[in-house]
């Protein structure tokens, strides 16, 4: 199979009998994760995720692409869903690491309930790992709301992992398709309406000017 549960297999990370849905569970003892066995040079990844419902404060459900090679010089693209108290919105936290350095955080509140159904999330990078882990100290309102472990296990479900490449090749496939106009408009709409943090606009953090990519069109 193209996916393997590589953390908490059997106990916390399980695959449905029909092989279609991977459930990742978190309790006091362990989190869980799965990853793609394939690596990609460039690819579009689409994945359907249904997040843990109810009081999920302190949990983090993630989907990330990680480059091979040394950790000190790695590249990474992160989507992290920060859990919240019942009735409060999950925050989608994104970051990009280049050559080992991150600090490019953006955050969005979601305009739909990500726990009510599966939604498709997509990113482009190489290669892919997925994890659900506990980060109660920083994830929920700066650590003020702690995970309520009496509600464990917290379970997120994943299905229909799809990697799209235009041409396979040594060391992974290639993909260079730009977002079309409709997708670009949707992206702008979400950024305008639902972005609640943007490192580029954080002048307290960058008193001498935002990083150079912030000025690119």
Ligand X SMILES: *[C@@H]1O[C@H](CO)[C@@H](O)[C@H](O)[C@H]1NC(C)=O
Catalytic site positions = 76, 80
How distant is the alpha carbon of residue 161 from its chain centre?
A: 13
Q: What is the longest distance spanned by two Cα atoms in the chain?
A: 55
Distance CA 30, CA 27 (A): 6
Nearer CB in complex with ligand X: 8/79? 79
Nearer CB in complex with ligand X: 11/160? 160
Nearer CB in complex with ligand X: 138/189? 138
Binding site for ligand X (CB under 6 A): 46, 72-73, 82, 84, 88-91, 99-100, 120, 139-141, 160, 162
Distance CA 156, CA 56 (A): 11
């Amino acid at each position: 199979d193209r996916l393997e549960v590589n953390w908490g297999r059997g106990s916390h990370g399980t695959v449905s009998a029909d092989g279609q849905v991977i459930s990742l569970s978190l309790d006091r003892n362990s989190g869980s994760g799965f990853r793609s066995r394939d690596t990609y040079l460039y690819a579009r990844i689409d994945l359907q995720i249904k997040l843990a419902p109810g009081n999920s404060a302190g949990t983090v459900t993630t989907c990330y692409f990680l480059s091979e090679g040394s950790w000190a010089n790695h590249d990474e693209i992160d989507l992290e869903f920060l859990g919240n108290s019942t009735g409060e919105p999950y925050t989608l936290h994104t970051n990009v690491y280049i050559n080992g350095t991150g600090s490019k955080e953006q955050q969005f509140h979601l305009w739909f309930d990500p726990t009510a159904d599966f939604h498709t999330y997509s990113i482009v990078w190489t290669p892919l790992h997925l994890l659900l882990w506990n980060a109660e100290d920083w994830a929920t309102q700066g650590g003020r709301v702690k995970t309520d472990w009496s509600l464990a296990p917290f379970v997120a479900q994943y299905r229909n992992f799809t990697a799209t490449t235009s041409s396979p090749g040594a060391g992974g496939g290639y993909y260079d398709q730009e977002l079309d106009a409709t997708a670009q408009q949707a992206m702008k709409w979400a950024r305008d309406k639902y972005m609640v943090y943007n490192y580029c606009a954080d002048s307290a953090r960058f008193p001498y000017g935002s990083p150079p990519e912030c000025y690119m069109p």
